[in-house]
A and B are shown apart, each in its own frame.
Chain A
Amino acid sequence: MPDLVSLTVDDRVVQVPSNTGLVEAALAAGVEIPVFCYEPRLGAPIGACRMCLVEIEGIPKLQAGCTLTAIEGMVVRTAATSAKAADGQESTLEFILVNHPLDCPVCDKGGECPLQDLTFRYGPGRTRMTFPKVTFDKPIPVSPLIALDRERCILCYRCTRFSEEVAEDGLLIARNRGARSEIATFEDEPYRSVFSGNVIELCPVGALTSSMYRFDARPWEIQNVPTVCTGCATGCNVTATIREGKVKRILSRNHAEIDRGWLCDKGRFTYPHLLARDRITAPLQRGPKGLKEVSWDEALDAAEEMLREAEGAIVTALSGSETTEIAYALGRLLRGGVGVHSAVLPEATSDALEAFRLPLSAIAEAELIVVVGDDPVVERAPIVDLWLKEARRRGAEVVACSPTGTVQVAPGGSAALCQGISAAGNELGQRLRNADRAVLVWSGPGGGGGARIAELAHELGF
């Protein structure tokens, strides 16, 4: 158990674990410290936007709350109880709005915009700025998927920090300085990244927008439906934005153990296939003249009839990318409803794995990670690659055993490799046995990978 410290935020006493960030500590006391640039998933706080200015007893100047951690006995006053802090917050918002174009009526972010919300709650009611604002050419297509509006940008550096410190591609940069500071791509090359779309969601204003969603919907005419991405076996939690019955965009939905709120571009941007013209949207029944469209009732009746006639002599195959709930429902139907006893999964999992299975977030805590399998993780399950990167940033060693990895393994050689690792005297195997927090990751096409990893884990005494 970490030590608890006690602090006072706006006259409310609260106890939090030591080293808790002040923004979180205030939240625990039921007090909001508003922020723009602060985003704990992006590494160390930078204190750039100055939205979180608070008064700390004993410190003459206002402090950026996001850069501080809770200390025993600390007395914090936010805008709610400190005129000085309120002035600080209003100052920040006044400065931010000095150059912001205020084109909210035509901005995709309008209605779901942190800048709008915080201005509504804390901002000045009128502007004192009567001079030309900073104007930039716009929009800049930083990639075919993302448009950049530099006039709306408030320079919180969330996007560049994501690129630098999470995706580690270094493609998004800030350049020039002062009032002419701007977000750009490195050497003006297109922002080609597996994870580029995350910056759209990170942007607290409408500076980075999705080219596919741009001007397509207003927030008050959409529904957000929670669902799970079926792009790969990771199962990232997502929200589908629906307008008039059609999916208009996919957003992340933070699951701390799976995706931490990140999505890959495949998961985020491939939804238009749902609207493909040649997509089958009604049941088809094969007859003497080929396929014929039938009603759902007819189709279900026909299916039931055929399943009952088969009397259990059925093999069912799942694709492996169903959610747990769908797979469970299918299993129940087939086992209980129609008496099926066997099932084939192309992405072979193994019951033996259950003894060792950990949430993906455990990767970040590991000290030694061995990735086995022919495919690069970033292609097989992109989000897992972000977990590996985070682990590496925290000091873990990641050993990739694949045709392109740090340990070169010929294609198809993973089975032999696993045997080698578990053999006595193998150096990597020994280190895996000795490590306190070791993780094995399988990244390859189906066909027993899971069982192999389970076997290896068993051999290593995990």
Chain B
Amino acid sequence: MDANNPILLMAGTQEHDLTRLDEYRAVGGYKALERARALEPQAVMDEISAATLRGRGGAGFPMGRKASLLAKGTGKPTYLVINADESEPGAFKDRDVLRMTPHRLIEGCLITAHGIGSESVFIYIRGEYAHEFDVMRDALEDARTAGLLGGVTIVLHRGAGAYICGEETALLESLEGQRGQPRPRPPFPPVNGLYGAPTQINNVSTIALVPKIIELGAAEFSKIGVPSAPGTAVFSLSGNVAEPGNYERPLGTPLRELIYDVAGGIAGGRELKAVIPGGSSVPVLTPAEIDTQMDYDSIQAAGSFFGSAAIIVVDDRCCMVQLALRAEQFYMHESCGKCTPCRVGTRWLVQLLTKIEEGRGDRSDLDLLEGVCDRMLGKSLCALGDFAVYPVASYLEKYRGEFEAHVDGHGCPFGGASSIEGTFAPIDQHAPNLAETVHA
């Protein structure tokens, strides 16, 4: 392992076809499982806790602490659920884990299942990840045939295309066959999760790191990354960088290094205008803020979130109003409709942003835009309500001049250009005619 650039999640994927069980075993695969099963379950969880493995799904909650909240003695089974519903615009890290090293995820599932005493694991895969599902299914079949499951049942469940099902409680509802909408919390999943039973939910990349923790030991693992967040993350760099793609780097790598050294800088030699560091839902950072380190606490101190480590780089051709509108169209389309602020607010924001982008707005519309954001923020049932606000509110705050230019000049100074089209699904999916009657 290269001490300067340790690769954990994607280790061996360059040299080997790790979708094959024999090749995964050739690089030491399933040895960690063997070692873990020889340990008491609590010893396994202690190791994970000692490694301070923080959730790679977005919130960064330590996995060990989450597991310690699992209700004991309920008379119900304990479930392990893997969130593979990667749907955040800009995020594609889990996809590579699923399709390139599926056995690492399976091994992580089996080690965790041993640690928390679970016999049932559910992997909820984003519906659009058809190829990844096939890879996982074949890998699971191989692992089963090889007798590696050891009495644990792993269920692969395909989602049906809803962003909201990446929210953990909506995911549970969807798994149970209900409408994919979030549940109120409390009760939290470790107490009352899938089918009312204690449930551990973790992201693909979190669980796929577990074998490495067992293999290296918590002490060695903790040397990578930063003390508050050891280990690596796969950063998905997209937008206007010269070499977009997935790059595994230690947590704490500066944003500037990721953009300029790792991803080759801004494409076409243009100027950097904005960076969205954790997927489309997190507050934007300006070029002045890119010396921030990419780890949970540092990025939060800078006023944004680590999110799904999906770094969207925006160059100077892009209109920030257009970008806000595009993001909001996505969130309007994906709002589940359960709670009032998100259901109504996203549509209202799209209407306001359309008006401003088309040059029909005035300064009072900017105040209203800010007001609607304030009214949505912190009032929804789940985090999506806030996610839908952060892009608009932060672009307005940091690029207010551009918004003002739209209303003062009665039009878009950029001619409606968006330099990062492609980060979201095609626009026709997300932009219905809002004045049209919905027919029965």
Contacts and interface: CB of A to CB of B under 8 A. Distances in A.
Nearest to B332: A178
A154 B346 CA distance: 16
A176 B179 CA distance: 10
A95 B345 contact: yes
A4 interface: no
A344 B379 CA distance: 63
24 contacts: A45-B184, A47-B381, A48-B339, A48-B340, A50-B339, A50-B341, A50-B380, A68-B186, A87-B375, A91-B379, A95-B348, A96-B340, A99-B344, A129-B348, A132-B434, A134-B434, A137-B437, A137-B439, A177-B162, A177-B335, A177-B337, A178-B346, A181-B336, A181-B343
A61 interface: yes
A236 B180 CA distance: 37
Main secondary structure of the interface of A (DSSP, over half): loop
Given A95-B340, A134-B347, A178-B337, 6 more contacts: A46-B184, A47-B381, A50-B380, A92-B379, A95-B375, A132-B434
Contact of A135 (B334, B372, B378, B438): B438
Interface string B322-344: 00000000001111111111011
B378 A62 contact: yes
Given A47-B381, A131-B351, A135-B437, A95 B338 contact: no
Contacts of B348: 95, 98, 129, 131
B217 to A, nearest CB: 37
Interface in B348-369: 348, 351-352, 355, 368
B179 A48 contact: no
Closest 3 CB pairs of A and B: A181-B337, A47-B184, A91-B375
B385 to A, nearest CB: 9
A187 to B, nearest CB: 13
Most central of B333, B345, B438 by chain A CB within 10 Å: B438
Interface residues of B, number: 42
A399 B378 CA distance: 49
Contacts, number: 115
Contacts of A49: 339-340
Nearest to A98: B344
A177 B334 CA distance: 7
Contacts of B340: 48-50, 92, 95-96, 154-155
A177 B336 contact: yes
Interface string B284-298: 000000000000000
A108 interface: no
A179 interface: yes
Interface in A393-447: none
B342 to A, nearest CB: 8
A67 interface: yes
Contacts of B3: none
A182 interface: yes
